[in-house]
Structure 1
Amino acid sequence: MKFNVRTTNKVTNHAGATAHTLDERLELYSAVVTTSLSDKFYEKAGERMERIRMLIELNEPDFVARLAVYTRQRMHLRSVPLMLAVELAKLQSGNSTVGNTVRQVVQRADEITELLAYYQLANARTGAKKLNKLSKQVQRGLSAAFNTFDEYQFAKYDRASEIKLKDALFLVHPKAVSEQQQAIFNKIVQGTLDIPYTWETTLSALGQQKFHSEGQKILAFRAQWEELIFSGKLGYMATLRNLRNMLEAGVSSQAMERVCTYLSDREAVAKSRQLPFRFLAAYREVKGLSSGLAAMVLDALEDAVAHSAANIRGFGSNTSVCIACDVSGSMQTPVSAKSKVQLYDIGLMLGILLQSRCAQVQTGMFGDTWKIVNVSRKNILGNVQEFYRREGEVGYSTNGYKVIQDLIARRQIVDKIMLFTDCQLWNSDSTQAGATATLSAQWTLYKKLAPKAKLYLFDLAGHGQAPVDVRASDVYLIAGWSDKVFDVLNALDEGRAALSEIEKIAL
């Protein structure tokens, strides 16, 4: 890859070991696609947000704009694309770049108010008119976005938050594209949008009713869940999130068969745009239940993940691959304050997804040591759980260099080595102290054994460093939590740059 690199390339990582900096574009990309910001912007920015702001200033506006659209439409992230669009508006004016970016990143009705909330925070607005003198380009982008949603979508997200849809409407002054759209805008102003039929509103209304007994309440909720299931109005994500609730409510086998058919439908999976670890979270919720229908649901989830993996190109029998998953202590960090999902889970999930699409592959995990764990290429979620169960077998340090050291010791030549890690590698083995006990040194040695080999670092944390210099020696950095990271892998395999998928985005 060719990038405009900084003069000083070596730094110290968070573990105290020598690491290499990334160029400004690659660092912004890795920081953004591994960031889980809160869905609400009413709190002070953290260190990651400050670093992203700094990196935005160092990058070309068009690249920032394309990255914002890429993270929303390809990576399916929600909050960070809005942040990129607003920060871009602070630096860019005089053309349509910001307006086009805002229009493309606002994909849900509530993102109109979320973007305004961050705009207010980012510009340190205080007083009665916090959003006075809104950027003209932001205004144009939001105006266009207002005309892309129907009444149901507005009603679903018309919440009693600090900035309401009504406030946004008065600020943006969108011009309705039709009389029907104008009627919807009028309803927003008057507060008369039809209450949407959603599982939240339906169950909330039921929960406010009084029941003569607990048994009557259980039967009522069971009937309500079955009605929701057979109505066909329960979306994919809502279904995925509520599998445990349905099973614990004791819905009928016919209802769960309907759910499983929907979950495992190839087209429904494709349209759902679920991040891979969402399936893993659902799998874990269901696996511990005593319901006799749980096995059926687990099978449906496996089928769903298999469908999601089908578009990963993978590698045939002529390409040998080594996949190594970092299970160190630093990887056991939640992706956000409220999430049960850890970086550890994402690394395992992405690693096993790729493993399922490779014909000649050895897969393992590293901590204090490196261990190959052979699993079937089927049952992706079950394989992740198997790795999860065995993670203590290799310890909790980050001796990633031992993956390549083992290949050298066995004289094993592979075409591609994939490390799924937070890139904070260091040596904890006192018996191997010295300059060669690093990933960088072992890679140099391995290239003598296997000159055509390539090393891919799947960065899951975005700290802005890499354990190996990514400017040369067939080393590549890919970042993110979505299965879309494999599109970047494909680009690299075809000789294109890691950021070429972003550069193709039309503004």
Structure 2
Amino acid sequence: MANIQLFSTLKSAFLPSTDAVNGAGAPAYAMTPRHQLAQYAATGCLHATFYANAEAQLSAVTGLCSQLDSAFIARTAVYFRERGYMKDMPALLTAILANARAAELAPTFGRVVNNGKMLRNFVQILRSGAVGRRSLGSRPKKLVQAWLNQATEAQLLSAAVGNSPSLADVVKMVHPKPAEAWREAFFAWLIGKPVDMASLPPLTRAFEAYKRDRTQPLPDVPFQMLTALELGAQEWAQLALQGSWQMVRMNLNTFARHGVFALEGMTKLIADKLRNPALIAKAGAFPYQLMAAYQAASPDVPMEVRGALHDALELALGNVPVVMGKVVVCPDVSGSMSAPVSGARGTASSAIRCIDVAALVASAMLRKNPETLVLPFEVKVVSCALSPADKVLDNAAKLAAQPGGGTNCSAPLAWLNQHKVHAELVVFVSDNESWVDARRGASAMMAEWEIFKRRNPKARLVCIDCAPNASTQACERDDVLNVGGFSDEVFKIVAAFAEGKLDGRHWVGEIEAIELPVA
């Protein structure tokens, strides 16, 4: 009889050897420069993570961009602004295009800088010197002027909320020359110059009138402009009704403190708003944002409203794929997954950790594919009883409560091989910093995957990375997909890959397919 161990060893010898070192100092596979930029754009937050500080991320991104053509940088910026709903990284990539005087700057700016917050981000990054300059330059200045001269009054008021720089600072930098009288009056009002109130546009005029006379109707302006005016319960209720979906999600505890839910009918109105499918889609809500709101809701927030958050979460998970055949999901519950998913921002750090995202993905896959096998892992596979009938948030909480340990990405595959499990799709959600199973040659994860493939020749492996990394434990090939991020776009990519609809370039190919005409 053939020596199985010998032939297994020989077969693994044909696997590619690792060629990089990950953040934990263990062997890994380097991603291509394009794939690395995509990974940083999908998960990078320009704030400290478990293995990388903000400066290291910035240095990595600028270094990668120096190796890549401007067309790919532009498509990456647009892809992750429009489909990944990212903010800082698309603004940084657009600023890099500005510094390089790239032909793609104008169309990229037009799609990335789609609100006042992004405009201020773009200006801040250029002025900081992070991309090699401390001035806007003529082309970026004209683009900013054009945005200011084309934005609606509502967009300008929204942009006026925030500092470093403020919109007033931006106006003083670029000196826009408005064609309309109302816009000229607005800019004068914004920077504190004397202005005839009658010449102001309607929303701004209503705001000034309300400040002088509280019997006036509550103006439809960003709520941050009103919070210093000591509003009562009725006024806060009106803000809840006219505010955006995201504004309402983020201010539930504020509404509770100001007595909004004690007003007749307000609990139902707010709950209906939160579970409205059209508003959820328009907001581009991340499932983890709803998890954060649910976890942060105080006991004073009514159960009906908390229930609406759960309903909204189920709707936000609409893109989780239903996969034919057996699915295995492996959430990483190791110690490094305790880092905030959007990086350490001091007191502004998100309460949602990488482990929460992993648990949410696993729970959602279980809900849509009830026969899914969930294998949480750290040094080894850990036991955690989950039911597809339970609420997604309840299952996610069980997974996230697992004790952390070292990271061993090969452990779930070794478990599947030991138990001779058959499956069509295996999904990992991890920060990819495996070190317990460090070895020479091919990674332990690839060696175990090769064994798994002998029993399951049509199986596919997906590695979802929730941290800004430049390496992986599973090298990219036809049956292996490495994808980063935590928006619903990731689920779409997984679904397409599971159905064999991605070309050989996989995730990078999706970015390269972005249409970006250049005049």
TM-score of the two chains, using structure 2 as the length reference: 0.81
CA contact (8 A) 1:350 1:483 kept: no
The match for 1:100 is 107
CA contact (8 A) 1:176 1:182 kept: yes
SS state at 2:464 partner? strand
What is the letter of the counterpart of residue 363 of structure 1? Answer: V
1:163, CA displacement in angstroms? 3.6
The match for 1:263 is 274
SS state at 2:376 partner? strand
The match for 1:41 is none
CA contact (8 A) 2:78 2:112 kept: yes
Structure 2 CA distance for partners of 1:62 and 1:473, relative to 1, 3 Å: closer
State percent identity of aligned pairs. Answer: 21
The match for 2:35 is 26
1:498, CA displacement in angstroms? 1.3
Q: Pairwise CA RMSD of aligned residues?
A: 2.9
Residue 440 of structure 1: which of 435, 446, 453 is its match? 446
Alignment of 1:231-250 (within 5 A): 232-250=241-259
TM-score of the two chains, using structure 1 as the length reference: 0.83
1:224, CA displacement in angstroms? 3.6
CA contact (8 A) 1:109 1:154 kept: yes
Structure 2 CA distance for partners of 1:103 and 1:435, relative to 1, 3 Å: closer
SS state at 2:467 partner? coil
- Report which stretch shifted further, 449-458 or 333-342: 333-342
Whole-angstrom CA distance in 2 between matches of 1:504 and 1:298 = 40
Residue 140 of structure 2: which of 130, 138, 141 is its match? 138
The match for 2:212 is none
Q: Does 1:361 align with 2:372?
A: yes
Residue 455 of structure 1: which of 455, 461, 470 is its match? 461
Residue 198 of structure 1: which of 214, 222, 236 is its match? 222
Structure 2 CA distance for partners of 1:479 and 1:437, relative to 1, 3 Å: closer
Q: Does 1:383 align with 2:390?
A: no
1:166, CA displacement in angstroms? 4.0
Alignment of 1:77-92 (within 5 A): 77-92=86-101
Whole-angstrom CA distance in 2 between matches of 1:159 and 1:476 = 40
CA contact (8 A) 1:322 1:361 kept: yes
CA contact (8 A) 1:20 1:469 kept: yes
Q: Does 1:272 align with 2:283?
A: yes
The match for 2:154 is 152
Q: Does 1:70 align with 2:94?
A: no
The match for 1:418 is 427
Q: Does 1:469 align with 2:475?
A: yes
Q: Does 1:117 align with 2:124?
A: yes
- Report which stretch shifted further, 419-428 or 108-117: 108-117
What is the letter of the counterpart of residue 494 of structure 2? Answer: L
Whole-angstrom CA distance in 1 between matches of 2:376 and 2:162 = 46
Whole-angstrom CA distance in 1 between matches of 2:101 and 2:493 = 28
Residue 315 of structure 2: which of 288, 293, 307 is its match? 307
1:46, CA displacement in angstroms? 0.9
Alignment of 1:282-431 (within 5 A): 282-286=293-297, 289-291=298-300, 294-312=302-320, 314-316=321-323, 318-334=324-340, 335-336=342-343, 337=345, 338-339=348-349, 340-370=351-381, 371=383, 373-376=385-388, 379-389=391-401, 391-392=402-403, 395-427=404-436
Structure 2 CA distance for partners of 1:352 and 1:368, relative to 1, 3 Å: same
- Report which stretch shifted further, 373-382 or 54-63: 373-382
1:272, CA displacement in angstroms? 1.2
CA contact (8 A) 2:125 2:131 kept: no
1:428, CA displacement in angstroms? 6.7
Whole-angstrom CA distance in 1 between matches of 2:326 and 2:185 = 60
The match for 1:214 is none
Structure 2 CA distance for partners of 1:180 and 1:70, relative to 1, 3 Å: farther
Structure 2 CA distance for partners of 1:447 and 1:473, relative to 1, 3 Å: farther
What is the letter of the counterpart of residue 102 of structure 1? Answer: F
1:179, CA displacement in angstroms? 6.0
- What is the CA deviation profile of residues 259-318 of structure 1, one whole-angstrom value per residue up to 9, with x for unaligned ones? 1010011111111112221101111112xx434x63212211111011111233x124x3
Whole-angstrom CA distance in 2 between matches of 1:170 and 1:256 = 43
SS state at 2:66 partner? helix
Q: Does 1:14 align with 2:26?
A: no
Please list every run of 5 or more consecutive structure 2 residues that lacks an aligned counterpart in the other structure. Answer: 1-15, 48-52, 208-219
Whole-angstrom CA distance in 1 between matches of 2:46 and 2:475 = 29
1:168, CA displacement in angstroms? 2.9
1:180, CA displacement in angstroms? 5.5
- What is the CA deviation profile of residues 346-383 of structure 1, one whole-angstrom value per residue up to 9, with x for unaligned ones? 22223323333225311231112213533225622222
1:171, CA displacement in angstroms? 4.4
Whole-angstrom CA distance in 1 between matches of 2:46 and 2:23 = 21
CA contact (8 A) 2:288 2:360 kept: yes
Whole-angstrom CA distance in 1 between matches of 2:322 and 2:45 = 30
What is the letter of the counterpart of residue 58 of structure 2? Answer: M
1:408, CA displacement in angstroms? 1.2
CA contact (8 A) 2:365 2:372 kept: no
What is the letter of the counterpart of residue 141 of structure 1? Answer: L
Please list every run of 5 or more consecutive structure 1 residues that lacks an aligned counterpart in the other structure. Answer: 1-6, 39-43, 208-219
Whole-angstrom CA distance in 2 between matches of 1:463 and 1:64 = 18
CA contact (8 A) 1:198 1:233 kept: no
Alignment of 1:174-193 (within 5 A): 174=176, 176=178, 181=183, 184-185=186-187, 187-188=189-190
Whole-angstrom CA distance in 2 between matches of 1:20 and 1:278 = 31
CA contact (8 A) 1:368 1:398 kept: yes
What is the letter of the counterpart of residue 153 of structure 2? Answer: E
